Structure 1
Amino acid sequence: MNADERLRFNVLGPLEGWDGDRRLRLGGMVQARVLAALLLEPGRVLPVSRLAAAAWAEDPPATASHQVRKAVADLRRRIPGGSRVLITDGPGYRAALSGCQLDLTEFNDFASSARKAAADGRAADAVRTFSEALALWRGSVLCGTGGPVIEAAATALEERRLAAIDQMFDLRLALGEAAELVVDLREMVSAYPLREALRGQLMLALYRSGRQAEALEEYGKVRGLLVEELGIDPGTKLAKLHERILRESPELAAPEPARAALPPQPTSATLGALCILPYDMPDFSGREQELSRIVSKAQGTGSQIIAIDGMGGSGKTSLAVRAAHRLSSDYPVGQLYIDLRGYSPDQKPVSSASALNAMLRALGLPDDRIPDDVAGRTALWRKAVSGKRMLIVLDNASDASNVRSLLPTGTNWLVMVTSRARLADLDGAEWISLDVMTPEESANLIAKTLDAQRVAADPEAAAELARLCDHLPLALRIATARLANRPRWTLQYMIDRLRDETRRLDELIMGERSVAATLRLSYQVLSDESRIALRLLALHPGGSIDVYAAAALLGSTPRHAEDVLEHLLDVHFLQQPEIGLYTFHDLVSSFARGLRTDDDGCDAARERLLGYYLAVTEAACTTLFPGRRKIPTGISSPPFALPDTKDIDTAGTWFAREQSALLAAISMAVQHGYERHAVCVARNAAFHLNAHGLLNEFEELCRTAVEVARKLGDDALLGVSLANLGVACWELGSLTEGIAVAEEGRQVAVRLGDRGTEAHSHSTLGLYKSLLGRFPEALGHLQTAIAYERELGLSRAEAESLTILSTLYEQWGRYPEAAAAARRSVDLCRQLSQHENELVALIDLAIAQLGLEECAEAEALIAQAREMCDDTRAPGIVALAFAVSADIAYRQGQMDQSAEYARRSLDLARASASPLRRAKVENMIGRLFHKRGEHASARELYAQAYERATKTNYRPEEAYARLGMSQVAEALGDHLAAAEHRAVCEELFTAMGVPPDRRRA
C-alpha cells in the first residue's frame, strides 16, 4: 500500500485524518475549519475568501487571507504528501482525493448506487447499499469543528442522510417488512419527532403489524407536536394516511412479493429528501414584508413561480434562500438550488444543458443515465420531478428561456427566480421587486452586523451611515464589516470617509465584496447604447429626471429617451418614484460618473440640458408671470420637445418639481463655464422662488447671477440681475445694501439705454427709500418708474410699482392716494389675468379703504384676497391678508372670527422669511390686542416688531411700534415709559413728514 492509499479523511462525524493506523494531528481551529471546508467539496476550487468565511464565524481579521494561506501550508506539512492533497488552483485551493480516501465520497457513491439499484427494480440490493452508506456515519457531520459555513454544510449533509434513511425505509416497506422496522423507526422518530415522513412510515409499519391503535396514537402525537411547536397541522400526505388507517383501507396492506419491485424510471424514491440550499445567513435582516408575501404565496395550492428582481447588492439571493429554508418543510421531496451565473464576471451564463445536468445529478442520477442532448435531459428532468412537491431556487437568471427549461411539470412545485432585470417574458411569474432598504430596516441590519449597543449609543450616526450607503444591503454589510474589523474606527470616522463622493465606492470594498464590482456586473451586460446613456444621464444634477430632460441629455426624442429610461429601470440602475420621473440610486450615480470617457460628449450634453432648462423656464414664466419683460439671452432655442406649461397648474407643478434640479443646473453651469446659461436660467428661477416666499434661496440665486454676469461682462444681463438682487435685499431687510444695488442697476441701465431696467431700478429705489422713511424721495422715484413703465407698456412692472406707491401713501397717512394707486394696480393685474401681484394689490386696497373708514368695502376686498390664499403663496403675504381680516372682523363685532384670523396671521408670519412683513403683521395684531384690552400681549408684539424694524431700518414700522408701545404703557399706568415712547415716535413721524392726524391709532 503506497502513502496515498494509506491516507483517509472522515467528515461524517468528528473531523479525522488517518495515515494507515496513525491518526493525524491537524492543528488548531483555523486549520481544522479550512480543511473541513475543502473536504466538504472535494475537487472543487474554493477561493481564499470562502475559506476565510469558514474559518471565522464573523468578524474575520484583516489578516484573514494571510492566515488561511498559512493554515494550508501547515496542513501540507502535517498530511503525508500534503502538497498533492491540498492543491493551489488559481484564486484558491482544492482537495484532490480518490473515492476511498474520504468517507463523504464513499457515502455519495453508495447512495448513488443504491438509488440506481432501486430505479432498476433491485430493491433488496438498494437496501443493502443504503445500509453500507449509512454505516459510514459516526455522528453529526464535523461535530466540534463549528462555524456557520461548516454548520450549514453539515445541515445539508444531514438532510442527505435522512433522505437515504427515508428511502431505505420506503424500500423495506415495499419489500413487505413491517414489525421488524418498528424499533428502528421509533428510534428515528424519537430523534426527529417533527419529520412527518418518518412518522408516516412508523404508522404504516405499526398498522401492517396489526397495531392499528398505536398507529393512530402516533398521528395524535405528531399533530400535537406540530400545533404546539409550529402552530400548524400535519401535511396532506400524513392526514390521508391517518384516514386510510381509520378506514382500514385495503391499499395499505403489505405488497405482494411481485409488487415489491420498483419502476425503472426516476421516482420519489430516487429523489429522496434532497436539500442543497446555500447557507442561510443568521444575521439576515429586513425584507419582512417581501418574505411574508413569498411564504404566503408559496403555501397556496398548485405550482408557483415567484421571481425576485432588484439591483446588484439589494439582497435578492439572501431573501430567496431565507424563504426557501423557511418553506423547506412544505416541500419535503427536495429543495434544490443552482446559480445560473447570469451576471458573473468572465464567465458565461450556465446553459440549459449544463443546468439540467447539474439538477439531474443533484437528484442522484449517475452520469451514464443522463442524456447528452438538451431535449433528452429536459424530458428526464420533468419525468423525475413530475408531481413532486419540490422547491427550486434559480439564482442570478438573465434569460427567461433558460428558466423555462428548468420548470417542472405537474403541480405542487415552487420555483423561485432571482434576477437583476425583470424577465418580462417569463409567463406566470409573480414578481417581487426589491428596492433599497427602509431606514428602519437599515438600522436593524447595522445593529445585527455591527453591535446593537454601539448603534444605540449614536443612532443619528447610524442613520447617516445608512444614508451614505444608499440603504443598499451589500454596502451596509461592507461598511459594518470594515467597522467591526477596525475597532478603533468610530461611526463618525467611517461617515467622514464615505462623504467624499469621489472615493465612496472605494470605501465600500471588503475582501472580494465590492459595491462597484457588483454594479459593474450589471453594467457589463448592457448594450453599448445603454452604457453611454447611463453615463450621460448621470450628468443630470437634480433629484429626478423626466423624459424631456433625458431627451436633452441624450440628444434624442422624448419617446426614445423614455425607452432608454425604462430599460435602465428594468435592470435597476434607476428608480421610478412616480410615473414619468426617474431617479438614480446614489451609489449608482457615483458609479456611472466614474465611468465617463472623453468620447461620451459630456460638454455637449450639459449644454443641451442647460438650453432645455432655459427654454422651459421661459415658457413657464410666460404662463405664470404674464406681462414679464422679455430680455435677449444670446442663446438659440434648442430643437428639443418641451413639456406642456401653457396653463397655470402645469407650469406651477413643473416649477415646483424641478426647483432643486434648476438650482443644481445653475451651479453646474457656473462650474463648467456656461455663464450665459447660468444667468438666464437664474433669472427665470428667481421669479418662482420669490413668488413662493423662498427668500433665502432667492437671494443666493440673485447673488450668483450678479457675480456671473460681472464675470461674463454683459451689462444687459448684469442690469437685470442687479434688479432682482435689489428685490431680494428688500425682502430680507438689507435696505442699505439694496439702495447701493438698485443705484448700480440704474447706472448700468442708463449706460445701456435700457429704460425698462432703469424703470425697475427707480421702482426699487422708491421702495427702499419709503422703507427708510424718506417719503418725498421715494415718491419721486416711484412716479418716474410708473411713467416709464406706462410709456413702455410694461403693465406688469407698473402694477408692482403701484403697490409700492400705495404702501408709501398708506404709511404716510394719505389714504385717498393709497386707494387710487392700489385700485389701478388691481385693474392692471386683472387685465394681465392671474397676475400673482393681484393678491398684494387687493390687500393694499383693503388697508387703504380701512384708512378711509370704508369698512364694508374693505371687508369685500379682503374676502377676495383670502380666496386667493393657498399653499403656493408666500406665507408673509398671506399673513398680512389675515391680519387685515382680523382687524375688519373686530370692527364688525365678530370677536371669535377676529381671534381666529389673528392666530392664523401670527402663525404664518412666523413661517415667513421676510422680517419686514413680520414687523408689519406684528404691529397690526398688536393694535388689535390693544383694542381688545390684552395689553400684555400687545406690548410683546410691539416689542418684537420694534426689534425687527430697528434691525432693518424699517422706519415707518419702527415708528408705529413705538406709538403702540406708548399707548400700551399708558393703558397699564406706566406714564413715564409712555412719554418716552411717545417722544421717540414723534421724532420719527416728523422726520418722515407724517402729520399727527394721520398717524394710525
Structure 2
Amino acid sequence: MMEADGQPGLRFGVLGPLQGWSGPSRLHLGGAVQERVLATLLLEPGRMVPVTRLVESVWDDVPPTTAAHQVRKAVAHLRRRIPDGNDLIITDGPGYRVSVGEEQLDLIEFGSHLRSAADAVHEGRVGDAVRALRHALSLWRGPVLSGTGGRVIEGAATALEERRLAAAEQYLELRLGLGEAAELIADLRDLIVQHPMRESLRGLLMLALYRGGRQAEAMEEYRKVRELLAEELGIDPGPQLTKLYEGILHEAPELAAPGPVAASPRPITPPAVLPTASTAGAETPAAAPCTLPQDLSDFTGRHEELAALLNHVKARNETSEGYTPLIAIDGMGGSGKTSLAVRAARQAADLFPDGQLHIDLRGYTPGEPSVTPSSALDSLLRALGTPGDRIPDDLEGRAALWRSTLAGRRTLLLLDNARDVGQVLPLLPAEPGCLVLVTSRARLLDLDGAEWISIGPMSEDDGAQLLTEMLGEARVAAEPKASADLVELCGRLPLALRIVAARLRNRPRWTVQYLADRLHDETRRLEELSAGERSVAATLRLSYQAMAEEYRTSFRLLGLHPGTVIDVHSTAALLGMDTHDAESVLERLLDVHLLEQPEIGLYRFHDLVRNFAQSQGGPATEEVDAQGVEQLLGYYLTVTEEACQVLFPGRKRSSTGLAPYGGELPPLQDPERASAWFDREHGSLPAAVALSERHGLDRHTVWLTRNIVFQLNALGRFEDFRHLSQVAVKAARRVQDLALLGASLSSLGIACWKLGHFDEGIEVTSEGRDIAVRLGEKHTEAHSESTIGLLLTVLGQHAEALPHLERAMALEHELDIPRSQAETLTILSTLYEQWGRYGEAATAARRALEIHRQVDYRSNRVMALTDLAFAHVGLGEYEDARTCLERARGLCDEASPPGDFALVLALSAQVAQYLGRGSEVSGLTGQALELAELSGSPTRQAKVENLVGRVHRRRHDHERAMQLHSHAYELAAAIRYRAEEARALGGMARAARALGDTVSAAKHEAAAAALFEVMGAPPYNLD
C-alpha cells in the first residue's frame, strides 16, 4: 500500500499475530507491554480507550503500582518506533485512540467485506457475496493476536473469532446454494475439528455429504454429534439438525442440490495452505512407496508455520526452474519440528505421486551415532525398490544411482534430525520435480538455496489446546488456572507438555495444581520433565554436547546471567572477551536454538534452557564461574555509575575500592540513552544484586545498590528501593565497613520516608549519621541530617526538624555540593509552608531554583517550583503560583516520578479554581488522583487527595470531598504524617458541616486543632 506521495504507508494486522508494517519493512513494536497496548487500541480503531482499560489489558487483575505510568511510557515508545506515531496514536481525554483507515488495518477491511457481503445477499447477488466473504476470510492469518495474551484481548479475540466463524458458515452455505458439495467437505471437516459441538457446521457437512452421494456418511455425522453432545453436555441435538437428519434418512426432495450454475466461485483455500490428501485431485499410484511416520492425531497449533511451509511447497511446486525445492525447518529440541514436517508432508503428499520417503538421520538421537550419508542412501534406494545387489558400495556411486533413480519422478523426501550439512548434501535429488524437507536443531547455514522456517515455543493458546487434547477438556476445565500455569512452566514446549500430560494420565490421583507446584521448584523442574525415555534435559543435553568445548563453557556461564535479556556488552564481561567475540558466541548459540532473539542485539534463554544451563555447573567449574560473575558485576557497577552521572548531574563520585571494568560499555552519552539502558535492564539490576549477595561479593552488593536506587527513586519504585537498601545494609555490616554502612543506612532512610515508615527511617538514618560523625564522613553526615529533618517535618515536629536541616545546609555549603543543597532547601521550604511561615518558604524555594541554574537536575527543579507555588498560595499570590506550576508541568513527562507529577497537577487544579479557570480543573484532578494512586507513596497520595478534596469542596461536591479527605486521613494517620492528617481532619470537618452532620464536624475540628497544637503550627486556611 502506497500513500499519496508515493512513500510506503503503514499497515497493521490483528487477525493473527500482531504485525505492523511500514511499506515492505516489518515494524519492531517492542515488548509485551507495548504490544498489548497497541493491540488493545487497534481492536477499537477510532475509539478512545481509557488508560484504566489499557492497564487491565496489559496486567489483568494484578497490575503493578506503576501500571498507568508504564502504559504512558509504552505509548511514548510506540510513537517513537512507528513512523508518524504521534498522528497514529492520539491522546484523547483520559485515554488514547488510534487513527487508521481501512487500508491500514485488516480488522477494518474485514468488517468492510462483511458489509459488502450482507448488501449483496440482500440484493440477491449471491456470487458477489461469496467473493466478498472469501476476501474477508483470506485476511485471517491465525487466531486473533495469537501470543499477545491478556484477559481483555482474549475476550475481544473470542468475539472476533465468532464473527469469523459466522462468516465462514455463511460462505460455505452460500456455496452449497450455488450447487457445490464435495469440494466443501474438507473445509467443513477442518472447522468441525476446531468446533466439534457447533451444530450449524455439522448440518452443513451433513448436507454437503448427502448432496455428494454419501448419504451413509452424512447420517454417521449425526450419530457422532449426538454422542458428543450427550457425553459432554447431557443434551440431544437441536430440532433443526434433527429435522435435517430425518430429511436425509427419507431422501427428502427439498434437500437435493440446486441445478447447475454457469460459473460457481472457486473453493476457498486459506492463504498459503494446500489441499489435504483427502481432497486433492490426483491419486497416488498403488506402487508408490510411503515411509512417512504416522501423523499425530493431537497435532495442535503451528498454524502460521504450517501455512508458510505449505506455501513454500506450493510455490516451488508450481515454479521450479531446474532445481530441487528445499525447505529446512530448524528449532530447539522438543519444539515439534518433526511433527510439523510430518503434518506438512502428509498434506502435500498428493503433489508427489511417485512416493513420500522419510529417514531419521539421528543427528541428535540419544545413545546412537548419526546416520552416514552412505547408509542413508542405501536405505532410500531400497525404499524405492532398488535391489541390494545393484546398490554400489561407495558413497559417490550410491549418490549417482540415487539421482538417476529419481530422474523424472515427483518424490517427497523428509530428512529428519540432521546434524550438519554434510549429512544432507549427498542425499539431495538433482531433479526439480522432487521436494526435500529437512529438520535440524541448528540452522544449516551452508545449505544453499533453502527456504528457512524457524519454530520456537508454542503460543499460549496453542499450548493450552495441546494440553486439552492430551488430558481432555474436563480435566483442564476443572483447573483452568493451574492448567495455564502448567503450560507456562513447560515453556510452551510441545515435548515438555507431552511429558507432563503423560505423567498426569498415569497418575489419576494427581491434580494439575499438584504437578504445577512441583514444577515451580526450579532445582527440580528438569527432573520432573521426564517420562520413560523422554526427557527435556536429555534432549537439551544432545544439543549441548554437540557444540565445541568453548561454546559449552560460554553456554554454562550465560546461565549465571541475572537478566531476562542478554546483550553483547554484558556477555563480553561475563565471558571475559571483547564484544566482537561475545557476539559470535551469542549468534552461535542462537543458531543451535539454545538462545532466542526477541529483537536485534538482544538475546534470552527459554526458561527450560536456562534451567538446563544452570544445572551444568559444579565443583569443577566453581572457580571459572566465580570469576565470570565478578567480571559481570564489575561491568554493571561501572555502567550504572556512568549512567547515574548522566541522569543525576552533581551526584558525588565515590571510590569503591573495586577495580573498574575496563571493557567496552554501551552508549550512555545522553539522558535518553542512559534512561533507555536503565529501562531495558530494570529486571536485571535487582537480580544482579541478588547474584552478588549469593556469591558473597558484599562490596559489589553495596555499591551496585547505591547506583540502582537512584533510578528506582526517580521511577517511584519505592518497595524495590527499600528492599535493595536493606540488602546493602546487611552486606555493609558483614564487611564491617562503617563508611559503607553509614551511606547504606542513609539511603535506606530515604526509602522509608517514601513509603511512610518514619520511625524506622529516623532510627536507621540516625545510626548512619552517628557513624558518619565518628568517621568524619561529612557527605554522609550532611545527607543523614537532611533526611532526619525531612522525616521530622513529615511528623510535624517542625522545631526539632529545623536544626537538622540547618546543619545539613552548613555541611553542604562547606563541601560545595550544590545538588544536595537544593534538595535540603526544598525540604526546608516544605517545613516553613507547613509551619505557616510562607515568606520563608518562598525564600528557601527560590534559593533552590537559583542553584538549579548551575546544576540542572529536573526532578528536584520540579519540586522546587512546586514548593514555591505552595508558598505563593499561602501568601495569596495565585498568578505567581500559576506561573511556577506551568513551568513545573513543562518539565514533567511520562518518565517523571508519578507522585511528583500528581502533586504538581493537584496544586495546579486548586490554583486554577482560585483564578476562575474552572474548565481546567476536572482534567487536572482526574490525572492527579490516578498518578498519586500508582505512585506507591502514601505521603504523596495523602497530600494529593487533600488538595483535590479541597477543590471538590469549593465546587460544593461535599460527598466526594468527604471521600477524598477520609481516605487521605487513613493514609496519613497510618504513617503519622501529621501535616496531612491535620489537613484531612479539617477538610472532613468542613465537608461534614456542609452535609449537615454537625456532631462529626465538631469532632473532626477538635482533632485537627489538637494536631496543630502538637505541631506548633497555626491552623491551615482550608478554604
Whether TM exceeds 0.5 here: the answer is yes
1:500 equivalent in structure 2: 521
Q: What displacement does 1:754 show?
A: 0.7
Q: What displacement does 1:440 show?
A: 1.0
Residue 685, structure 1, aligned to residue 685, structure 2: no
2:956 equivalent in structure 1: 933
Q: What displacement does 1:856 show?
A: 2.4
**Is the Cα contact below 8 Å between 1:927 and 1:938 reproduced in 2?**
yes
User: 1:487-511: CA deviations, max 9, x gaps?
Assistant: 1111111112212222211111111
Instruction: Find the residue that maps to 1:502 and give its secondary structure.
Output: coil
Amino acid at match of 1:286: G
**Is the Cα contact below 8 Å between 1:830 and 1:838 reproduced in 2?**
no
User: 1:666-724: CA deviations, max 9, x gaps?
Assistant: 11211221111111101111111111000111111111111111121111110110111
Residue 474, structure 1, aligned to residue 495, structure 2: yes
Amino acid at match of 1:444: Q
1:314 equivalent in structure 2: 335
Instruction: Find the residue that maps to 1:728 and give its secondary structure.
Output: helix
| Aligned equivalents of 2:407, 2:872: Cα separation in 1 | 89
| Aligned equivalents of 1:590, 1:904: Cα separation in 2 | 43
User: 1:714-762: CA deviations, max 9, x gaps?
Assistant: 1111011011111011111111121111211110110110111111111
Of 921-930 and 598-607, deviating more is 598-607
1:695 equivalent in structure 2: 718
**Is the Cα contact below 8 Å between 1:388 and 1:411 reproduced in 2?**
no
Query: Structure 1 residues 228 and 928, CA, compared in 2 at 3 Å: closer, same or farther?
Result: closer
Of 867-876 and 912-921, deviating more is 867-876
1:836 equivalent in structure 2: 859
Q: 2:309 aligns with which of 281, 285, 294?
A: 294
Residue 431, structure 1, aligned to residue 446, structure 2: no
2:295 equivalent in structure 1: 280
Residue 752, structure 1, aligned to residue 768, structure 2: no
Q: What displacement does 1:820 show?
A: 1.8
Residue 565, structure 1, aligned to residue 581, structure 2: no
Percentage identity across paired residues of the two chains: 51
| Matching of residues 640-655 of structure 1 within 5 Å | 640-655=663-678
| Matching of residues 209-224 of structure 1 within 5 Å | none
Query: Structure 1 residues 861 and 227, CA, compared in 2 at 3 Å: closer, same or farther?
Result: closer
Q: What displacement does 1:610 show?
A: 1.2
User: 1:947-996: CA deviations, max 9, x gaps?
Assistant: 11111111111111111122222322333332222222222223322235
| Matching of residues 188-199 of structure 1 within 5 Å | none
Query: Structure 1 residues 788 and 239, CA, compared in 2 at 3 Å: closer, same or farther?
Result: closer
1:623 equivalent in structure 2: 646
| Matching of residues 486-525 of structure 1 within 5 Å | 486-525=507-546
Query: Structure 1 residues 341 and 654, CA, compared in 2 at 3 Å: closer, same or farther?
Result: same
| Matching of residues 792-803 of structure 1 within 5 Å | 792-803=815-826
| Aligned equivalents of 1:417, 1:917: Cα separation in 2 | 61
| Aligned equivalents of 1:973, 1:506: Cα separation in 2 | 69
**Is the Cα contact below 8 Å between 2:746 and 2:780 reproduced in 1?**
yes
| Aligned equivalents of 2:974, 2:673: Cα separation in 1 | 40
TM-score by length of 1: 0.72
Q: 1:461 aligns with which of 479, 482, 487?
A: 482
| Aligned equivalents of 1:765, 1:346: Cα separation in 2 | 68
**Is the Cα contact below 8 Å between 1:624 and 1:835 reproduced in 2?**
no
Residue 333, structure 1, aligned to residue 357, structure 2: no
Of 909-918 and 888-897, deviating more is 888-897
Amino acid at match of 1:311: M
Query: Structure 1 residues 830 and 315, CA, compared in 2 at 3 Å: closer, same or farther?
Result: farther
2:680 equivalent in structure 1: 657
Of 596-605 and 562-571, deviating more is 596-605
Q: What displacement does 1:401 show?
A: 3.7
| Aligned equivalents of 1:607, 1:653: Cα separation in 2 | 24
Q: 2:628 aligns with which of 588, 602, 605?
A: 605
User: 1:295-349: CA deviations, max 9, x gaps?
Assistant: 2221221242211100111100011011111111222221111111222234332
Query: Structure 1 residues 446 and 617, CA, compared in 2 at 3 Å: closer, same or farther?
Result: same
| Aligned equivalents of 2:370, 2:999: Cα separation in 1 | 93
RMSD of aligned Cα (Å):
2.6
Residue 816, structure 1, aligned to residue 831, structure 2: no
Q: What displacement does 1:545 show?
A: 1.4
**Is the Cα contact below 8 Å between 2:269 and 2:275 reproduced in 1?**
no
Amino acid at match of 1:918: Q
Instruction: Find the residue that maps to 2:498 and give its secondary structure.
Output: helix
Of 775-784 and 885-894, deviating more is 885-894
User: 1:533-577: CA deviations, max 9, x gaps?
Assistant: 111111112212111111111111111111001100110111111
1:575 equivalent in structure 2: 596
Instruction: Find the residue that maps to 2:413 and give its secondary structure.
Output: strand
Query: Structure 1 residues 408 and 772, CA, compared in 2 at 3 Å: closer, same or farther?
Result: same
Q: 2:567 aligns with which of 541, 546, 549?
A: 546
Q: 1:918 aligns with which of 911, 919, 941?
A: 941
User: 1:631-683: CA deviations, max 9, x gaps?
Assistant: 22121112222212221011111112112211111112112211111111011
**Is the Cα contact below 8 Å between 1:387 and 1:409 reproduced in 2?**
no
Q: Which has the larger radius of gyration?
A: 1
Q: What displacement does 1:234 show?
A: 13
User: 1:236-293: CA deviations, max 9, x gaps?
Assistant: xx9999xxxxxxxxxxxxxxxxxxxxxxxxxx99x94221101111111121111111
**Is the Cα contact below 8 Å between 1:616 and 1:642 reproduced in 2?**
yes
| Matching of residues 141-220 of structure 1 within 5 Å | none
2:760 equivalent in structure 1: 737
Instruction: Find the residue that maps to 2:439 and give its secondary structure.
Output: strand
Q: 2:695 aligns with which of 672, 676, 679?
A: 672
Q: What displacement does 1:809 show?
A: 1.3
Instruction: Find the residue that maps to 1:800 and give its secondary structure.
Output: helix
Residue 413, structure 1, aligned to residue 428, structure 2: no
**Is the Cα contact below 8 Å between 2:596 and 2:603 reproduced in 1?**
yes
Extract structure 1 runs of 4+ deviating beyond 4 A.
226-235, 238-241
Query: Structure 1 residues 900 and 680, CA, compared in 2 at 3 Å: closer, same or farther?
Result: same
Query: Structure 1 residues 344 and 239, CA, compared in 2 at 3 Å: closer, same or farther?
Result: closer
Q: Which runs of 5+ in 2 are unaligned?
A: 1-212, 215-259
Query: Structure 1 residues 557 and 232, CA, compared in 2 at 3 Å: closer, same or farther?
Result: closer
Q: 1:856 aligns with which of 879, 882, 889?
A: 879
Q: Which runs of 5+ in 1 are unaligned?
A: 1-189, 192-219, 242-267
**Is the Cα contact below 8 Å between 2:798 and 2:1016 reproduced in 1?**
yes
Query: Structure 1 residues 928 and 531, CA, compared in 2 at 3 Å: closer, same or farther?
Result: same
2:506 equivalent in structure 1: 485
2:344 equivalent in structure 1: 323
Amino acid at match of 2:499: I
**Is the Cα contact below 8 Å between 1:735 and 1:952 reproduced in 2?**
yes
Query: Structure 1 residues 862 and 331, CA, compared in 2 at 3 Å: closer, same or farther?
Result: same
Query: Structure 1 residues 232 and 325, CA, compared in 2 at 3 Å: closer, same or farther?
Result: closer
| Aligned equivalents of 2:275, 2:343: Cα separation in 1 | 22
Query: Structure 1 residues 454 and 239, CA, compared in 2 at 3 Å: closer, same or farther?
Result: closer
| Aligned equivalents of 2:281, 2:932: Cα separation in 1 | 73
User: 1:69-125: CA deviations, max 9, x gaps?
Assistant: xxxxxxxxxxxxxxxxxxxxxxxxxxxxxxxxxxxxxxxxxxxxxxxxxxxxxxxxx
1:452 equivalent in structure 2: 473
Amino acid at match of 2:782: A
| Aligned equivalents of 2:967, 2:485: Cα separation in 1 | 38
1:529 equivalent in structure 2: 550
Amino acid at match of 2:610: S
Query: Structure 1 residues 666 and 401, CA, compared in 2 at 3 Å: closer, same or farther?
Result: same
| Aligned equivalents of 2:269, 2:601: Cα separation in 1 | 50
| Matching of residues 68-79 of structure 1 within 5 Å | none
Residue 904, structure 1, aligned to residue 891, structure 2: no
Query: Structure 1 residues 229 and 786, CA, compared in 2 at 3 Å: closer, same or farther?
Result: closer
